[in-house]
Amino acid sequence: MDGDAERETAAVTTPTLPFRKILIANRGEIACRIERTLRSLRLGSVAIHHAVEVDARHVREADEAVEITGETPVAAHLDSAQIIEAALRAGADAIHPGYGFLSENAKFAKAVADAGLVFIGPDAETIELMGDKISARNFARSQSVSVAPSAAPTGDIDAFRAAAEAIGFPLLIKAAAGGGGKGMSVVRGANELAEAARVAASEALRSFGDGRIYAETYLERPRHIEVQVVGDGEGRAIHLFERECSVQRRFQKIIEEAPAPNLSAKLREDILTAAVRLAAKGRYRNVGTVEFILGADGRFFFLEMNTRLQVEHPVTEMITGLDLVRIQLEIAAGQGLPLEQEEAVAKGHAIECRICAEDPERDFMPETGAIRYLDAPTASFLRFENALDGGQKVTPDFDPMLAKLVVHGADRAEAIARAIASLHELALLGVKTNIDYLARVLAHPAFRAGDLHTAFVREHSAALAPPPLDAKTRDAALIAAALGLREFRDIAFGVPEPHATIGGWRN
């Protein structure tokens, strides 16, 4: 086949990048997304998968695939040794870790480098520094980046409680070793502190293998603002603008946008500068995100730095026109920063909606099922990032996020309108999702006004409930459902003449 021949010749080192083949230590939509860039650069891709996902899209769309084993599918994806072994046997030059899983695991990054492979990301020391929330905060403070008052746990629970109470309430308990909302909770009073600390520590231990937690002040109605940074590892860094990720549930983002709305030029500048300073002084190499918490009073505090590609990176790509995965590869290849700060231009506005298999009406409980019908709209301004197949089973094995719908508009209003229209057009049937819920969020006046904060979902939960079903729509749905039933159609259309025309007559 022509395609294979093309790939054969291109498998020879391309002039720009010193890689022939890259193993993606991830799965799902991000694996498909990375494979897309690899294909465009004519680089070979190796996918890994557990037995349960042998038919997954990310496996099909890679050039090669290797099965990994583990007690659970997630455990397999966390098995560094097995993954490195797979990369070596496949003859890969580099490993791209995606997000989640081992992407912020310093030991893994080191092991990859020790094995003679290139880790597409920062070096292990940086990961370790920034990965530990406490050391990251200390570093930020040392670089004059404001940090929210906090308390670190000690073995002495009373001392921890005293330190926490010194911060004042409300405060936030977080896991030191990881993010994604795991091991996090808000504590509003001293009486709740001990139990909250115990629960958070055990959740952190389960999710990250590290039970350390810390506490920090909790700003009311805070906004989550993050900055996309790129560093060359030699002390130079640029930003690719900020993102707003305040709309969250269970401390997980569900809607992100770039740039952040309602941000004064000065505040924006301050935040961007702080982020770049951190990345540069930290000699950060490759692509990363600096997360801040912004209070209504304009005070902002460093939250953490994610030393990897983020889930919501597409919104930055859409306003800048850049391919962040490609930039990751180029920096990993030692080519330095891809452009000067002045060359980075933000055009228009982008919004991402995370489509999850869950029931917003039952407190976002994860749902399972199978995808019986999938039809996503297509448009030049729209990206539907997914690894979905028709008939695919949605199981509790992996994260409930099914896909990301990302749209671009000339301005925020257009982006919102396009996002709502696209969500309405998106048909994903067979498992409950938050698609309609997300459309209601986007249509809410507070969202339109940019009046966002991390308790948005809870504050507006009543208004975001689905409107009551009017009789006409309900009847239309019943009719549509009935006409999809064979047994109904048999009776409706299987009656011969003249009886069908005579109808329900009795003598």
Partner 1 sequence: MRKIQSMISVSNAEFRANEAHNRALAKAFREKQEAARHIRPSRDLERLARAGKMRPRARIEKLLDPGTPFLELSSLAANMAYGGESPSASTIVGIGIVSGREVIVRADDPTIKGGAWYPLSAKKIVRALDIATENRLPVIHLCDSAGGFLQLQSEVFPDRYMAGRIFRDQSILSKMGVKQLALVFGHCTAGGAYIPALSDYNVIVRGSGAVFLGGPPLVRAATGEDVTVEDLGGADMHTSVSGVCDYPAASEDEAIHIGREIVAQWERPRKWECQREPVEAPAYDPQEIYGILPNDVKKQFDMREILARVVDGSRFHEYQPNYGQTLVCGFANIWGFKVGVLANNGVLFNDSSLKGAHFIELCNQNNTPLVFLQNITGYMVGREYERRGITKDGAKMIMAQSCSRVPKFTVMCNGSFGAGNYGMCGRAFDARLLFAWPNHQIGVMGGDQAANTLAEVKLNQMKRNGEAIDQTEIDRVWDETRRAYQEQLSAYYSTSELWDDGIIDPVDTRNALGIAISASLNAPLGESGYGVFRF
Partner 2 sequence: MSFKISLDGANHNVEIVARRPNLRLRVDDHEYEISAPGDVDDGRRTIEISGNPLHFARAHDGDRQIVRMGGRTLETRLVDPRSEADASGGGQDHVRAPMPGVVVHVHRVPGAVVARGEALLTIESMKLQMTLLAPRDGLLARLPGSVGDAFDKDDIVAELAPIADRD
Residues binding partner 1 (CB under 8 A): 490-491, 494-507
Regarding 495 and contact with partner 2 (CB under 8 A), the answer is yes
Regarding 433 and contact with partner 2 (CB under 8 A), the answer is yes
CB closer to partner 1 out of 3 and 498: 498
| CA-based torsion, 73, 77, 78, 81: positive or negative | positive
CB closer to partner 2 out of 225 and 442: 442
Place of tokens 């940019």: 450
272: three-class secondary structure by DSSP: helix
Pairwise CA distance, residues 57 & 16, whole Å = 28
CA angle centred on 403, ends 397 and 404, rounded to 5°:
140
Q: Which of 3, 445, 504, 506 binds partner 2 (CB under 8 A)?
A: 504
Give the relative orientation of helices 412-425 and 435-443 as an angle to the nearest 10 degrees.
150
Residue 373: alpha-carbon gap to chain centroid: 24
283: three-class secondary structure by DSSP: coil
Shortest distance (Å) from residue 398 CB to partner 2: 20
Q: What is the largest CA-CA distance in the chain?
A: 96
496 binds, among partner 2, partner 1, none (CB under 5 to 8 A by kind): partner 1
Regarding 369 and contact with partner 2 (CB under 8 A), the answer is yes
Q: Which of 159, 166, 365, 485 binds partner 2 (CB under 8 A)?
A: 485
Give the relative orientation of helices 324-332 and 28-40 as an angle to the nearest 10 degrees.
70
CB closer to partner 1 out of 458 and 489: 489
Q: Is there a cis peptide before residue 15, judged by omega within 30 degrees of 0? A: no
CB closer to partner 1 out of 266 and 486: 486
Regarding 463 and contact with partner 2 (CB under 8 A), the answer is no
Regarding 190 and contact with partner 2 (CB under 8 A), the answer is no
3-state SS string for 142-174 = HCCCCECCEECCCCCHHHHHHHHHHHCCCEEEE
Shortest distance (Å) from residue 389 CB to partner 2: 14
Which residues lie across from 291 on neighbouring strands? 226, 304
Q: Which of 210, 436, 451, 459 binds partner 2 (CB under 8 A)?
A: 436
Total number of residues that touch partner 2 (CB under 8 A): 43
Q: Which of these segments, 10-18, 225-233, 350-358, 471-479, binds partner 2 (CB under 8 A)? A: 471-479
The alpha-helical segments, DSSP class H, found in 24-72 are: 28-40, 57-60
Restricting to residues 391-430, which ones interact with partner 2 according to CB under 8 A?
423-424, 427, 429-430
Shortest distance (Å) from residue 482 CB to partner 1: 12
Chain residues that interact with partner 2, rule: CB under 8 A:
369-370, 372-373, 375, 423-424, 427, 429-430, 432-433, 435-436, 439, 466, 469, 471, 473-489, 491-493, 495, 500-501, 503-504
